[in-house]
Amino acid sequence: MSGTGRKIEIVPANGLRNFFAFCRLPRLLYKDHPGFAPPLDAERWTLFAAKLNPHFKLVQSAAWLARKNGQLAGRIFAQIYDEAHAPLGASRAQFGCLDAIDDDVVVAGLTRAAEDWLRQRGAALAHGPFSPSINSEMGLLVQGFEAAPMVLVPWNPAYLCVALERQGYTKARDVISYRYDVGEKDHVTQHSIVERPEWRKRLNIRKLDLKNLGKEAETIVDIFNDAWSENWGFVPFTLDEFMSSADALKWVVPSEGGFMKGGFMIELDGVPQAFGLVLPNLHEVTADLGGRLFPLGLPRVVSRIRKHAFTSGRLALFGIRRALHRKAAGGAVILAFIEEMRHRSITSPIRHVEFGWVLEDNVGMRHAIERSGAQIDKVHRIYEKNLAA
């Protein structure tokens, strides 16, 4: 749609008022779209506030809002990583948080603001969206617009991808989210690989201590960074970033006996080699809040999380050390991981789990997931643009 004849303003998202507007904008624009579920405003504040998210220590950044005839119409974010934290194979110059009404003039104004800011800092190539990083949320949705919404997975209408491509952006990579539907076969107790003689004394699966996650943090971050270190776009997950996220987990992971018991560590010969962290799909208990936690939403959410029998969730973090990739011991660890997920489903009301952010060219991980019976549910696209052209 054209914006001709209408007043469109692109303004920096400076100050507290504009920051709050930036965080709540998607729920204002997309609230009536099938497939969209609003994230909680307070969670967005912790993700995008420079003083609350340690990610912003690694980058220079700026953000903008679009207004059309005085009404909020869009937003965008831009950042440049410092040289010490350059993404693997991708540009240090990135954009993110692109959301807008169906108006090419609005999208053009937003992308131009971000591009000009990046060019002024010497950028010749931009990648995105990363919101704000590859370790949080990324890509524009290009498939699965009416799929079940999932916690920490961004949503946008189909027109936004088309509008961005009309501004000269092209595909860089796709990232895939799989849906695994739990069936009767998963509720049947089977012999586990950890019971086999050759692995009985070597493999051990234990719970993550989510109440004292700090003591697990260094191991988790070490395994995660080792596991994904050769993937396109990789930026090491810092301990500060993980701890910032971990502080919120006590609010979103149910107590013992709750949603699949949260997370686990797999040890081989006494050494931690893999971990998984499953988060409940908070949209099941927050849909009627419209993203608002205050003044009455917070106690409601906390109470609901503790009592609700979640039926869906997301494997939010997973990693297996690279030394085990393509080796028999690595296959045993992955099989133990799958069996552990199935074992936990026996005593859980879980009906489907989403495995997300798998790069399209990560063939090994994709094959392992697909062999489990999981199906592609959503595809998000990372775009690029030559800013020097």
CA R_g for the chain = 21
What is the spatial distance between Cα 178 and Cα 371, in angstroms, rounded to a whole number? 12
What integer pLDDT is reported at residue 250 of this predicted model? 59
Residue type at position 231: N
What integer pLDDT is reported at residue 207 of this predicted model? 84
Residue 236 phi/psi, 5-degree rounding, is -55, 135
| CA separation, residue 69 to residues 72, 110, 112, 113 (Å) | 9, 16, 19, 19
Query: Each residue's pLDDT tens digit in the chain (389 positions)?
Result: 444 557 999 999 999 999 999 999 999 999 989 999 999 888 899 999 999 999 999 999 999 999 999 999 999 999 999 999 999 999 999 999 999 999 999 999 999 999 999 999 999 999 999 999 999 999 999 999 999 999 999 999 999 999 999 999 999 999 999 999 988 777 666 667 777 888 888 888 888 876 677 778 899 999 999 999 999 999 999 999 988 887 766 555 555 444 445 688 999 999 999 998 888 898 998 888 888 877 666 777 777 877 888 899 898 888 999 998 878 888 788 778 877 777 777 777 888 899 988 999 988 888 888 888 899 999 999 999 999 97
Q: At 280, which helix (H) or strand (E)?
A: strand 271-280
Please choose, from the candidates 365, 386, 383, the residue with its C-alpha nearest in 3D space to the C-alpha of residue 177: 365
CB atoms within 10 A of CB 223: 22
What integer pLDDT is reported at residue 287 of this predicted model? 83
What is the spatial distance between Cα 380 and Cα 52, in angstroms, rounded to a whole number? 26
Please choose, from the candidates 95, 114, 106, the residue with its C-alpha nearest in 3D space to the C-alpha of residue 160: 106
What is the spatial distance between Cα 77 and Cα 13, in angstroms, rounded to a whole number? 9
Task: Kindly state the tokens that stand for 283.
Answer: 């949209």
What integer pLDDT is reported at residue 341 of this predicted model? 77
What is the distance in angstroms between the CA of the first residue and the CA of the last residue of the chain?
26
Strand ranges in 101-144 using DSSP code E only, listed in sequence order = 125-128, 140-143
Please choose, from the candidates 61, 73, 69, the residue with its C-alpha nearest in 3D space to the C-alpha of residue 21: 73
Q: Which residues does 25 contact at the CB level (< 8 Å), separation at least 6?
A: 65, 72, 74, 75, 99
Q: How many CA atoms lie within 13 A of 356 on its CB side?
A: 30
Domains of the chain with CATH codes? 8-174 (3.40.630.30), 181-378 (3.40.630.30)
Q: Exposure of 257 by Cβ count < 10 A (0-12 exposed, 13-18 middle, 19+ buried)?
A: exposed
- Nearest-5° Cα angle at 354, 353 to 360: 145
Tell me 193's DSSP state: G
What is the spatial distance between Cα 56 and Cα 130, in angstroms, rounded to a whole number? 13
Cβ–Cβ < 8 Å for 330, 270: no
Please choose, from the candidates 121, 120, 23, the residue with its C-alpha nearest in 3D space to the C-alpha of residue 77: 23
Prior bond of 129 cis (ω within 30°): yes
Prior bond of 132 cis (ω within 30°): yes
What is the spatial distance between Cα 177 and Cα 377, in angstroms, rounded to a whole number? 6
What integer pLDDT is reported at residue 210 of this predicted model? 65
Name the pTM for this structure: 0.92
Task: Kindly state the tokens that stand for 214.
Answer: 């700090």
What integer pLDDT is reported at residue 259 of this predicted model? 44
